[in-house]
Chains A and B, each alone.
Chain A
C-alpha cells in the first residue's frame, strides 16, 4: 500500500468515528431511540460487547503510520518503511517464521528446525510463516469493511430511490421498479460474480458489487413502506395544510423509515460477510479476509498430520462476529418493530 493509501484509510476511519459520535448524540437526544438503545443493551449485553470488540479491533487496525519499531539482525529493513497499524505494532517487526509451526511450538512443524520466536506464536504460523493471530486480527477490518462500509454506501442511495419511487409514484416508480425487478431476477451470487468479473478484482470492486446486490433489498423495503406511509392520515393532514413535498418527506416519511433501515442493515450485514467468504473461495474475494484464510486451509486438512490452527482461527473469528451480529439483529428487530411488539403482548 502506498503512503497515500494509509493516509486515506486514516481519514476514512476518522470520518467514520465522527459519524458514530454524531449518531450517538442523535440517539441520546431522541427519547424513543434512547429507550430502544437501553432496551437493546438490557436484552443482549454480551452480543453487543462482542460486536464492540470487533469494531475496536478494526478501528485500531485502520490507524497506521510509518516508522517506529526496530528490526533485529538479519531482519527485513524494508518493513520499517511500510505503514503499520496499531494492531501491527502489537507484534514485533520481524515476527515471521519460514513455514508452518503449531501454536506455541518451539520448532517448525515439518522438519523440526528451531523457530526464531519459540513459544510466542499463540496460534501458530501459516504456510508463509506469518503469525496466524496477526493475520486473523487483520481480517476483522476486511469483514467490517465488507459488511459495514458497503451498507453505509448503499443506504443513502436506497433511501433516495426508494422514497422517491414510493412517494411520487408514476413514471419514477415504474423505472425504479423495473430496475429492481431486473436486479432481483438475477440470483444474488451470480450477479455478484458477474459484477466483479466485469469490474475487475479488488476490495473496492467487491464492495461496490455487494452494494448493488444489497441495494435492491433495501430499496424494495423502503419503497413498500413509503407507499404505506403516504396514505396515512397524518401525512394527508400535513399535505392538506400545504407542507411541501420535500419537507413532508424529511419530517414525516424519513423518520418513520429509519427503524426499518436499522433492522435491514443489521440483518444484511452477516449475509454480506458470509458471501465474501464464498467469493474468496472463487478467488475473487478481498485479500487478507477470513474467507481467504478458510480457503487456503482447505488443503491443510488433507495433509498428514493435519494443520488445523489456520482454519480454526479464521472460522472462530468469522463465527463469533456473525453469531453476535445475528443475535443483535434479532434483538434490534424485536425492539424497533412495533408489529412484533404487538404480537408479544
Chain B
C-alpha cells in the first residue's frame, strides 16, 4: 500500500514536470517574450519600449542554453519559480502572484466547497429518487428534464439567475462579496443556486444509470428475496455498492468545479482564483496564467492520487501490487 502511494506520487510528480515543460513550450518557445511584450504594450510601441518591458519582467535571459552560466536561463527560472511557489510578479500590474493566489484561495473555496457538497448530496438524493421509480413516468420525465437542463449554457444560467432572482425578485444581491460570516451567506446564495441548477442535470443522469445498473445485480435480488423493502434495498444495498462510480465521478468533477467557478466568480464579483483567471486572460497577464495552470494541475493530480488511494477504503476488491 505504502509502496503504491509512493509510486503513484512519483508518477504524479513526473506528470507535473510534464505540465511545466508544456507551459514552457507554449509561453516561452511558441509565444516568445517579444510576442508577449507586443501584446502587453501594443502593436505600435517603439522597439525601446518593447525591450524595456522584456527587461523589466525578467524575460531577457537566454531561453534554454546559456554557455556562460548554465543555470541562468528562462527554463531553469520557470521551473525554480513553480516548484518553490514563488511566482514573481504579474505581467499586467506587477502585483506579487503568490500573494494574490493566497488571497484568492479563501473566497474560491467559500463558493466551491458548499456548491460541491450540496451538489453531490442533492444529485445523489435526486438520482436515488428517480431510480426508485424506474420505468415509470416519473423516471422518464426525470431523464428528459435532466437532458433539458444539460443543454442550457452556463452563461444563460448565470445571466438568467441574476436577472430573475437578483433583479426581479430581489431575494439576494446581484453580485459582490464580503468575508464577514454574517453577510457572506447572502452573497453566496445566488451563485450557489445557479451552480446547483446548472450542474445537477448531468450528475443526476449519471448517478441514475449507476443505480439502475447496480439495481439489476444478483445481490439485490437476494436482498429482495429475504424480504428487504424497496427503500432499504436502495439505501443499504444499491447506494453502498454504487459508491465507487460516485467516487470516480466526484474527482472527475473537481477540475470542472475550478473552471465552473471561473464564470460564477467573475459574474458575481467574488475575488477568487476564477476571477483572477478572467483578469489574467483579459489583461494578457501570462505570468499569472502560468501560475494558475500550474496550481490547477497540481490540485487535480493530488485529487487523482487521493481517489486512487481511497478506492482501497471503499472497495476491498481493489488491491495494490
Contact = CB atoms under 8 A, between A and B. Distances in A.
Interface stretch (B96-104, B122-130, B290-298): B290-298
Nearest to B28: A198
Chain A interface mostly helix, strand, loop or mixed?
helix
Interface string A166-209: 00000000000011011101111111011101111000000000
B289 A194 contact: yes
Interface string B238-255: 000000000000000001
B143 to A, nearest CB: 9
A343 B286 CA distance: 50
B150 A278 contact: no
A294 B159 contact: yes
Interface string B1-38: 00000000001001110110011001100110000000
B151 interface: yes
Contact of A182 (B18, B30, B154, B255): B18
Contacts of A318: 153, 156
A187 B147 contact: no
A186 B293 contact: yes
Contact of B289 (A193, A277, A294, A295): A193
A343 B216 contact: yes
B163 interface: yes
Counting contact residues on chain A (CB < 8 A from B), the size range is 35 or more
Interface stretch (A114-122, A156-164, A320-328): A320-328
A222 interface: no
Interface string B255-273: 1101100110000000000
A187 B289 contact: no
Contact of B155 (A185, A278, A327): A278
Given A185-B19, A282-B282, A326-B147, A197 B159 contact: no
Interface residues of B, number: 48
Nearest to A322: B151
Contacts of A323: 147-148, 151
Interface centre among A190, A291, A297 (most CB of B within 10 A): A190
Contacts, number: 127
Contacts of A197: 31, 281, 284, 286, 289
A125 interface: no
A298 interface: yes
Given A282-B278, A323-B151, A189 B262 contact: yes
A327 B213 contact: no
A186 B216 CA distance: 36
Interface string B28-52: 0011000000000000000000000
B159 A297 contact: yes
B18 A284 contact: no
B19 A281 contact: no
B301 interface: yes
Given A282-B281, A315-B152, 6 more contacts: A190-B292, A190-B293, A197-B286, A294-B156, A295-B155, A315-B153
Interface of B: 11, 14-16, 18-19, 22-23, 26-27, 30-31, 147-148, 150-156, 159, 162-163, 167, 213, 216, 255-256, 258-259, 262-263, 277-278, 281-282, 284, 286, 289-290, 292-293, 296-297, 300-301, 304
7 contacts: A178-B14, A185-B297, A185-B300, A188-B256, A294-B155, A294-B156, A301-B159
